[in-house]
Structure 1
């Protein structure tokens, strides 16, 4: 089964443009410089998964024309990755089923505080219908598809990335332990956060992300969770190694399982 990946959002917690900012990136007319909060849709055969439901979730679902959703995987509990959970309701209505959520226990507890009405014993009519699956950093399956969690550190907060086949998605990290890096070997596509060029307390910089990519040696890598402080897409893209790209909202990848070939938008073809 081929893996189809759609980048729903590639921006940091404030998105790009940033409210009230007049920098060149925020004023850019290049669609690749318009970044919603980070999230990704992964289609494996008939299985439709979203990783994180940030504040832009509704807009992202409509823009990508995602008409079915079988599960939501959460990386961590920060609002820019969870705030849109209420908008799974149309999928509840259309599919006539609870929405399966996969996350660590501390993330579920945070969701229960933020969306208490959806977890109440006596629910108000029309609230999201959710089915919780507590996971750790051990592999699990959804409808026969294996998901391998990758634990990374977001300063002092443990965050889960995910590997599905030869595709892996890592957001909000500034450290990956050696034993977790072993789970990221032999990838066709690695997606990794790179916030900006300047040092940050809880995110990889561009330089740090490139060093990780060089160490892990995926066939291709795409950078996400990008701040307006990174620079203009076209300028940063031109600086990157041939196998590394800045992801952008709406970018789609098709990854044939068991092969080291896939399609993507090539540099210079925009």
Structure 2
């Protein structure tokens, strides 16, 4: 499977409109820290591309890769930075005279339909709580703690041919017990870490920081890790002394699993 990072930013992206910090100013001038909201494009043999999350930067992300149409998408949760582009995608499907296929856990679908009740006219909604297939890959969602923001879902992708596995866990914090189990035995872990060190009260937080993410990595021992969902606290030009197996995701990065 080829995994293309369409975005690697947190819920507000970088630069933040109100902010004049060094990272935002560098991003504002078109620098390396300019970030779209987190999203992936997945491609595997014999299948159409599969979008993973569809945030408000969807149109710019499609233009960046020269993509004129997407037929299917996988959604992690119904927060705006992960579904804000669904209305544009649905309208694009209308103009192309096709129906899009959206896959998500049932409670996520319910939240999407409550927010955008008209969208079912253009997008078919299929609950994937029991998992789904994408070519040779079995995709399994599981509910994860999203701190003050409630819950999200993460996805584990496992090859039905040789057992290779990777996982996408963009919005989570303080995973315990069974929530960690799908993170074992991974070739690749894509993990959301919004700050380097987030010094806010624990009850106000919703995503791992890089320090905590490294503790999780040390416990789960994936072969390779990419940190995503990065806020303006993270400067991609800096050396954070990350282990050799860990790096920061960047838009346009293509990884083969």
Please tell me the TM-score bracket, short chain as reference. 0.7 to 0.9
> How far is 1:144 from its partner?
5.8
For 1:83-122, what aligned pairs fall within 5 Å after superposition?
Answer: 83-88=84-89, 89-91=91-93, 93-94=95-96, 96-119=97-120
Residue 235 (structure 1) aligns with:
238
What is the alpha-carbon distance in structure 2 between the residues aligned to residue 92 and residue 239 of structure 1?
48
What is the alpha-carbon distance in structure 2 between the residues aligned to residue 188 and residue 68 of structure 1?
30
What is the alpha-carbon distance in structure 1 between the residues aligned to residue 23 and residue 61 of structure 2?
21
Residue 261 (structure 1) aligns with:
none
What is the alpha-carbon distance in structure 2 between the residues aligned to residue 38 and residue 234 of structure 1?
19
Q: Aligned with 2:237: secondary structure?
A: helix
1:148 to 133, 136, 140: 140
Flag the 1:68–1:145 CA change in 2: closer, same or farther, 3 A.
Answer: farther
- Is the CA contact 2:146–2:173 (under 8 Å) kept in the aligned structure 1? yes
Residue 128 (structure 2) aligns with:
135
What is the alpha-carbon distance in structure 2 between the residues aligned to residue 133 and residue 66 of structure 1?
24
Flag the 1:243–1:97 CA change in 2: closer, same or farther, 3 A.
Answer: same
Cα RMSD (Å) of the superposition?
Answer: 2.0
Q: Aligned with 1:152: secondary structure?
A: strand
For 1:202-241, what aligned pairs fall within 5 Å after superposition?
Answer: 202-230=206-234, 232-236=235-239, 238-241=240-243
Residue 20 (structure 1) aligns with:
18
- Is the CA contact 1:71–1:100 (under 8 Å) kept in the aligned structure 2? yes
> How far is 1:159 from its partner?
1.2
> How far is 1:67 from its partner?
4.3
- Is the CA contact 1:167–1:188 (under 8 Å) kept in the aligned structure 2? yes
Question: How many residue pairs end up in the alignment?
Answer: 241
What is the alpha-carbon distance in structure 2 between the residues aligned to residue 97 and residue 147 of structure 1?
24
Q: Aligned with 1:77: secondary structure?
A: coil
What is the alpha-carbon distance in structure 2 between the residues aligned to residue 199 and residue 149 of structure 1?
30
TM-score, normalised to structure 1's length?
Answer: 0.82
Can you give the 5+ residue segments of structure 1 that lack an aligned partner in the other structure?
A: 124-128, 256-270
What is the alpha-carbon distance in structure 1 between the residues aligned to residue 183 and residue 55 of structure 2?
25
